[in-house]
Amino acid sequence: MKTNRFLLLGLLILLYHPRLHAEDPVKGLRQKITEEKKIVLKNDTVTIKPYWFMPTQFKVQYAGSIGFVSFGAGYDFRNGYQPTLLYGFLDRNFGGSNITVHTISLKNRFKLTQNPILGCFTPIAGISVNWGITNNTFNRLPPHYPENYYFQNKIHLSPFWGGEFNFSVAQKNLGVYFEFSTLDAYLLEYFRTDFVKLNKIWSLGMGITLYLN
Amino acid sequence: MRKIGLYISVLLSILNYACTDLMEYSPYEGKVQEGSRSLNQTAIGKLQLQSSKTFKPFTFAIIGDSHTYYDDFIKQISVLNNLDSIDMVIHMGDITLSGIYREFLWYRDIIKPLKYPLITIIGNHDYLSNGEYMYRDMFGPTNFSFTYNNCLLVFFDDITWERNTKDPDFEWLKSTISATATYTHKFVFTHIPPWDEQFSHGNELYYNYLLAKNNVDYSIHGHIHRFYHDKHYADLYGNVNYLACGDSQDHEVVLVKVKENNIDVEVIHF
């Protein structure tokens, strides 16, 4: 566990280290993404963005039920919808687990306010689709089971809520966010039993977003 | 600049230490937290201290298939706490529904107030996802045995489908129950009864054969979600008693009273 914390610390320092960004690859990337080209077609001039498909935001996340650490890229739509595809990893060295879990997560995040509150805080909520790759998980049951013996356990829906602090550092737009997420299976037990209270189902995740637009 | 990263790391570390249940790396986690490891070994250790070398009558309670019937399971635990003169409680497996992380933590929280030593065996649901690893970390090996008041108690993992149709470790069972020591009684505890569809016909008959040949008195199970008590294979081979307990929703606790010459089974409804 201790080495993990040092790794995390190292990662954060790296990310913030000014010397690393001496040539500022972020700036170059941002220019490429926002680059516009004008093409003349007969009598019309059409403006196109050749890199329209490039993700406009990148995330690094710690915990949050999708692995010890996860990395992702996503888009920012005008209506506040921010889909991000993340890959999360958990094993002996990253998270001190005795098994390896790969998770692919589609985070469907929505900004709850159009402009940040007090200019820096945006409440967020949404639902993730988490696909876990590890032992004894399946979409379709192996053939030796009778039909409907178990429900699939590879994909879980994970509703979440939280917030993001936005600020600019060295002309880079950054967001530090936290999320409380739960799982369809946990939520079901919350509704089904008195024992499982709301405080028993949330799991905390924290991360950093780098915005390029 | 660097300060922000430092602040975040410090905050992360504090949160990580402060709220252990809040941090979940994955629902498929295979490792429990400090303080909830090897629970079976701890219970067996306690039992060894009160066990005698020669036979002495004793009583154990069996419950099983608590799944996520948490409210009923809590009642079951409080009923057990109100009983006196039982030596131990045995949970017959299926402590979770999907074998995922928090289901194990919730089980740990519910059994905490139980005042008797509790032995938990693995069920088929507990094998799902990385439940097997969670079970091994939280309770210990899936096959184990110990002696109590000169009786042999064998706990056998007979899950087949969830182990990719791998046969149960019959060699281990055979060598454990054929021990040469003269036990007053022998008990075998498994989650799935041999007549269940998870057993092939060969395994079913072989299981009964092994038990009958080695003079096992009782074969005790969960899995079928109802109470069952009969000599299931009496007209086929042997004289082994088969006993199964219902699930937590059945609002019952099964007591097995072990005496020198006979074994009484009592069902307490609540």
**Is A23 inside a domain boundary?**
no
User: Closest-CA residue in chain B for A157?
Assistant: B27
Per-domain boundaries in chain B: 1-30, 32-269
User: How far is it, in rounded angstroms, from Cα B51 to Cα B188?
Assistant: 18
Full-model pTM: 0.88
The pLDDT, as a whole number, for residue B3 is 60
Residue A40 has pLDDT above 90, yes or no: no
Rounded to an integer, the average pLDDT of A180-186 is 95
**Is A45 inside a domain boundary?**
no
The confidence band for A37, taking pLDDT boundaries of 50, 70 and 90, is confident
Contact B164 A142 (CB under 8 A): yes
pLDDT digits (tens, 9 = 90+) for A119-133: 899 999 999 999 999
Contact A137 B129 (CB under 8 A): yes
Neighbours of B138 (CB within 10 A): 23
Rounded to an integer, the average pLDDT of B223-247 is 96
Question: DSSP E strands: which ranges in B163-208?
Answer: 186-190
Tokens of A149: 């013996």
The count of CB pairs under 8 A between chains A and B is: 148
B143-to-A50, B109, B139 alpha-carbon distances in Å = 62, 24, 11
Rounded to an integer, the average pLDDT of A14-18 is 66
**Is A1 inside a domain boundary?**
no
The pLDDT, as a whole number, for residue A18 is 60
Q: What percent of chain B has pLDDT over 90?
A: 87
The pLDDT, as a whole number, for residue B9 is 66
Rounded to an integer, the average pLDDT of A154-178 is 92
Helix (H) and strand (E) counts in chain B: 7, 11
Residue B19 has pLDDT above 70, yes or no: no
The pLDDT, as a whole number, for residue A98 is 87
**Is A103 inside a domain boundary?**
yes
Q: What is the CATH number of the domain that holds A184?
A: 2.40.160
The confidence band for B124, taking pLDDT boundaries of 50, 70 and 90, is very high
Single out the residue of A8, A15, A124 nearest to residue B12, CA to CA: A8
Neighbours of B11 (CB within 10 A): 13
Contacts 24+ apart (CB under 8 A), A135-140: A135/A99, A135/B28, A135/B129, A135/B130, A135/B132, A135/B133, A136/B99, A136/B127, A136/B128, A136/B129, A136/B130, A136/B131, A136/B132, A136/B162, A137/B28, A137/B128, A137/B129
Rounded to an integer, the average pLDDT of A148-169 is 93
Contact A153 B129 (CB under 8 A): yes
The pLDDT, as a whole number, for residue B17 is 52
**Is A153 inside a domain boundary?**
yes
**Is A14 inside a domain boundary?**
no
User: A149 to chain B: which residues are within 8 Å by CB?
Assistant: 161
**Is A160 inside a domain boundary?**
yes
* CB contact A206 to B (< 8 Å): yes
User: A67 to chain B: which residues are within 8 Å by CB?
Assistant: 25-26
**Is A73 inside a domain boundary?**
yes
The pLDDT, as a whole number, for residue A156 is 96
The confidence band for B145, taking pLDDT boundaries of 50, 70 and 90, is very high
How close B126 comes to chain A (CA, Å)? 11
* Residues B10 and A6 sit within 8 Å (Cβ to Cβ): no
Contact A135 B130 (CB under 8 A): yes
Please give the single-letter amino acid code of residue B255: L
User: How far is it, in rounded angstroms, from Cα B110 to Cα B12?
Assistant: 29
The pLDDT, as a whole number, for residue B20 is 58
The confidence band for A21, taking pLDDT boundaries of 50, 70 and 90, is low
Q: What percent of chain B has pLDDT over 70?
A: 93
The pLDDT, as a whole number, for residue B7 is 63
Contact A204 B110 (CB under 8 A): no
The confidence band for A15, taking pLDDT boundaries of 50, 70 and 90, is low
The pLDDT, as a whole number, for residue A85 is 97
Between A101, A146, A192, which is nearest B28 by CB? Answer: A101
Residue B2 has pLDDT above 60, yes or no: no
What is the domain count for chain A? 1
The confidence band for A23, taking pLDDT boundaries of 50, 70 and 90, is low
Q: Between B85 and B218, where is the model more confident? A: B218
Residue B12 has pLDDT above 80, yes or no: no
Tokens of A163: 């917030």
For residue A61, give the H/E element and its range: strand A57-63
User: Closest-CA residue in chain B for A6?
Assistant: B9
Average of per-residue pLDDT values in chain A: 88
Rounded to an integer, the average pLDDT of A5-26 is 68
Rounded to an integer, the average pLDDT of B234-247 is 95
Class of domain B32-269 (CATH, top level): alpha beta
* Residues A74 and A111 sit within 8 Å (Cβ to Cβ): no
Average of per-residue pLDDT values in chain B: 92
pLDDT digits (tens, 9 = 90+) for B178-222: 987 899 999 999 999 999 999 999 999 999 999 999 999 999 999
